[in-house]
Chain A
Amino acid sequence: EVQLVESGGGLVQPGGSLRLSCAASAFTFSNYWMSWVRQAPGKGLEWVANIKPDGGERYYVDSMKGRFTISRDNAKNSLYLQLNNLRVEDTAVYYCARVWVAAVDSWGQGTLVTVSS
């Protein structure tokens, strides 16, 4: 069974940084586009970014360009999201997601990022 396990969330002050990680297992990680999707408390889902299987292409939602960086290490079956210059409105559960034909067919359990002073 596909497993995606996120880590790295926590409480951070506005303007601070965090690095989220996602450990993937039970599938050939290097064959799939991967993504980060977030969900603010009581709100809908929001796509953050996606990355090509070889890491050669990365795409971001406009509102997060320049602050967030998605990356991957296929040798370690791991996906990452660097979050910089965090704002209160970035508070959300961040999900690691496996992408298949522009749909998310597997989700991690999520890691909570709370931005507050």
Chain B
Amino acid sequence: QSALTQPASVSGSPGQSITISCTGTSSDVGGYNYVSWYQQHPGKVPKLMIYDVSNRPSGVSNRFSGSKSGNTAFLTISGLQAEDEADYHCSSFTSSSVVVFGGGTRLTVL
């Protein structure tokens, strides 16, 4: 049950696209299509942005998209906006029937 690996930080300018990676193993990311992504603004509760690798909950902007290749999942944010500046956490269901999170990625909008 080791944490998934995310870059500590990414940045982009308004209007650009960025992609955050989330690397696990065949026992989590690679073995199940149960990858989720959460957005967390400072001092706030996390918000679900993507579930089941690529599905968006109702109300989440279509600028957010998810994908997966092998043991690595990706969150792409297109048309970056200032309000997207936040921490992003990935998670995956595991073979131990628990969920494992990544360490989180700080997105800075320049």
B is a partner of A: yes
Segment of B12-20, B67-75, B97-105 engaged in the interface with chain A: B97-105
Q: How far is the CB of B9 from chain A (nearest CB, A)?
A: 13
B104 x A44 contact (CB < 8 A): yes
Q: How far is the CB of B50 from chain A (nearest CB, A)?
A: 8
Tell whether A80 is near chain B: CB-to-CB under 8 Å: no
Q: How far is the CB of B98 from chain A (nearest CB, A)?
A: 5
Q: Which residues of A contact B57 (CB under 8 A)?
A: 105
Query: CA–CA, A26 to B36, complex, Å?
Result: 24
B38 x A104 contact (CB < 8 A): yes
Q: Which residues of A contact B91 (CB under 8 A)?
A: 45, 47, 102-103
Segment of A10-18, A58-66, A81-89 engaged in the interface with chain B: A58-66
Q: Which residues of B contact A107 (CB under 8 A)?
A: 45-46
Number of chain A residues close to chain B: CB under 8 A: 26
A102 x B101 contact (CB < 8 A): no
A102 x B36 contact (CB < 8 A): yes
- Identify 11 new A-B residue pairs, CB closer than 8 A, beyond the known A46-B101, A50-B97, A104-B48: A44-B101, A47-B100, A50-B99, A95-B46, A100-B51, A102-B93, A102-B99, A103-B34, A104-B38, A107-B45, A110-B45
A-B contact pairs, 18 of them (CB 8 A): A43-B104, A44-B101, A45-B38, A45-B89, A45-B91, A49-B98, A50-B98, A59-B96, A62-B1, A63-B1, A100-B51, A101-B34, A102-B36, A102-B51, A103-B52, A104-B46, A107-B46, A110-B45
